[in-house]
Chain A
Amino acid sequence: MDTIQAILSSMMREAISPQTAAVAIAAIGLNVHFGFTGLLNIGQSGFMLLGAYGFAISIGHDLPLIAGLLIGFGAAFVFALVLGAPTLKLRGDYLAIVTISAAEIIRYVGRSALLTDFTGAAQGLQGVTYRDPFTNLSFFGGGTTTLSPFNYADVAGGAVWVRLLGWLLVAACITGIVVLVRGAQRSPAVRYAGIGLLGAVTVFLLFFLAPANYQNTGVSGWWVRFAAWLLVGISALVVFLLVRSPWGRLLRGIREDEDAIRSLGKNVFAIKMQALIIGGLFGALGGMVYVLPASVQPDSMGRSLTFFCYTALLLGGAATIFGPILGAVLFYAARIMIKGVANAYIPDNIMNNQQTEQFSFIVVGVALMLIVIFRPQGILGNKRELRFNV
């Protein structure tokens, strides 16, 4: 039971980690590109890296936090303009080619020895050089906090039956949420209230069963987590506001058929450019959050990060508001679970620790393929909408 508890706890830590939140933000941006507008951007990590560099380098050169943010966003903005101007008038494939190569160019330029003074070359930039202005904003104070303070250890001494009962309750809550989401017969008010209530209970139960303990402020403490997930919420809200509007309708129209939209007198190029820029800005924000608790490492923000974003997006459901967030949380938690289980139960002579890491990625890749084949709309997507994919 202790092994299982350890795996569950590390899954929980990974699920709420600021880097998961960062990938969720980047996936939200990718959702604007791919899910809503149909732009195949395979270089989201380039936007993230530019945002991170802009942020870290300017703060490292003693500029204020706000200037760092603006420079990071500005770099992503210019990057989107440069990528979009020649390719958005062409067919979608060209954008894909250009974005993936441009993202690689950014990474290679970042790790080039010529720029050691700015980017730290392949070593990257240490977190201490740019983290302080953000950490100083914290109003969480010092010390450490365990969330939730009231947890399974406080009930019957953390007996196995308490935990089992707890997980059964979690399963029941999630089933209830699914039933409420699917059942259209009840009034919307009842459904939303029910979903909200069950969601809150689920989150509490998760923290109850797998409590997390961090410093309040520290390098990778509650403050970074709070700020990161707050930004995830804000990003989701902004995307919601954008896509419910006539502008969002235009995006979906462009995804379906550009020429039809052009024949209706809309400036398709301008709208696609706007979408590319907005998604890119979310990517830059994700990049900044990604490096806050760590360091700016060009090689850790390469192609694979883009594909993690795509996995999160497709898992949760493209063209949905919460899909990228749910996808990112599940993706990282599932990966840790696979790794943990493989570590604990597969003997070392069959698979050692290093191999389980790779094994976890293989399993995630296979899972992604299965999702795309058997549930292409993802967890939250609309199957009815996908049926007419021509």
Chain B
Amino acid sequence: MSESTVARSDLADPTARRALMAGVDATPGSGKPDPILVVDNIVRQFGGMTAVDVDHLEVQRGIITALIGPNGAGKTTFFNLITGFDRPTSAKTGAHWSFDGATLDKTSASSVAKAGMVRTFQLTKALSRMTVMDNMMLGAQGQSGENLLKCVFKPMWRGQERDIEDKARELLARFKLLEKKDDYAGSLSGGQRKLLEMARALMSDPKMIMLDEPMAGVNPALTQSLLGHIQSLRDEGTTVLFVEHDMHVVRHISDWVAVMAEGRLVAEGPADTVMSDTAVIDAYLGAHHDTDLGDDALLSDDVMEQIQQQVAAEQEDES
């Protein structure tokens, strides 16, 4: 993080981001001014079921892109495909995707991560029987001590190990996990594991980080700090692509939203535009998505009454 913390990205300014994306068509598969990830013709079938069928998708560099869609829309499968954890069925018939200019059609999951596209998992993969610190240190790239021939000789990796540990400490402090550093990762709570996994992914200084439901099962206070972390990542120049179901989170932090349904990309655009799109509302959000039952501000008596009236009216309609 050292260089990027100093040089804040130009896109840290919200108006700059809005200006950048203003010229982009809000249609599925639209071209972006400076795409970091370009995906073409990627199809994945499980037997007769088509899980993912995306013709074209571009992800703009330096902003936060949200990928939303109903359960079973193929979001996680899409993540698996482009990070090399799964192979597209269309691999031999023109599937093509490139990251930061490099073609990734045939690369393994580890090479994808080495190229700078690091992901997290929907079900967190904390390495339970290792300490938090060991988890973090595994994240660093290019460790000479991971070479079998060099690892026996401590002087060959001692210096690098110290640097990595300093960096891990810094990140753990930022994610408020530093006092847990000697605990086993298995003893962390679900939310803390999410934080650990994100921090671990950041150890490699990724160009783009892909978060699969980072807020699932995380308490509200932690959600806030996670949001803060994601935004500061963007402000430091990392591209973020994330899958999320919480529409308030999506609306709050994303600069661009892509919507998938039944494996296809059905809509794209800034959060407000997408969420008022009737296709998206029908496929995913539902008619009452604007009413947030969990928002304290809305829990005044007036609003509650209003909601109750609406519910009563609906029940009458149905009966």
Contacts and interface: CB of A to CB of B under 8 A. Distances in A.
Contacts of A248: 151
Interface in A215-255: 238, 241-242, 244-250, 252-253, 255
Interface in B126-156: 126-130, 134, 137-139, 141, 143, 145-148, 151-152, 154
A384 interface: yes
Interface stretch (B114-122, B224-232, B309-317): B114-122
Given A261-B138, A266-B110, A385-B184, A242 B151 contact: yes
B129 A252 contact: yes
Contacts of B147: 247
Contact of A385 (B109, B129, B148, B204): B129
B127 A247 contact: no
A384 B152 CA distance: 27
A265 interface: yes
Most B CB within 10 A of own CB, among A247, A259, A264, A267: A264
Interface string A182-214: 000000000000000000000000000000000
Contacts of A249: 130, 134, 137-138
B64 interface: no
Contacts, number: 111
Contact of B118 (A242, A264, A388): A264
A274 B148 contact: yes
Nearest to A238: B152
Contacts of A256: 127-130
A76 B87 CA distance: 34
A92 B187 CA distance: 25
Contacts of B120: 263
B113 A245 contact: no
Interface string B170-202: 000000000000001111000000000000110
Interface in A303-331: none
A260 B125 contact: yes
A262 B121 CA distance: 12
A28 interface: no
B128 A388 contact: yes
B118 A245 contact: no
Nearest to A240: B152
Interface string B196-229: 0000110110000000000000000000000000
A265 B84 CA distance: 11
A390 interface: yes
A245 B157 contact: yes
B262 interface: no
Given A245-B152, A260-B125, A388-B186, A252 B130 contact: yes
A246 B161 contact: yes
A268 interface: yes
B130 A390 contact: no
B83 interface: yes
Interface in A274-303: 274, 278
Contacts of B111: 265
B85 A245 contact: no
A389 interface: yes
Interface residues of A, number: 35
Most A CB within 10 A of own CB, among B110, B147, B203: B110
A262 B152 contact: no
Nearest to A388: B186
Interface string A94-125: 00000000000000000000000000000000
Given A256-B130, A385-B184, A246 B113 contact: no
A247 B130 contact: no
A386 interface: yes
Contacts of B114: 265
A112 to B, nearest CB: 36
Nearest to B135: A253
A384 B130 contact: no
A256 B200 CA distance: 15
B184 A247 contact: no
A257 interface: yes
Contact of A253 (B127, B152, B201): B127
A91 interface: no
Given A247-B148, A247-B151, A252-B134, A259 B186 contact: no
Contacts of A265: 110-114, 118, 141, 204
Contacts of A387: 184, 186
B187 to A, nearest CB: 7
A238 B153 CA distance: 11
Contacts of A246: 137, 143, 145-146, 151, 157, 161
Contact of B129 (A263, A267, A386): A386
Nearest to A275: B148
Contacts of A388: 128-129, 184-187
A386 B128 CA distance: 9
Nearest to B116: A265
B85 A250 contact: no
A264 B127 contact: no
Contacts of B127: 252-253, 256-257, 260
Contacts of B128: 256, 388-390
A4 to B, nearest CB: 42
Contact of B125 (A241, A247, A259, A271): A259
Nearest to B184: A388
- Complex A-B, nearest 5 residue pairs according to Cβ-Cβ distance, in ascending order: A388-B186, A265-B113, A246-B145, A245-B151, A260-B125
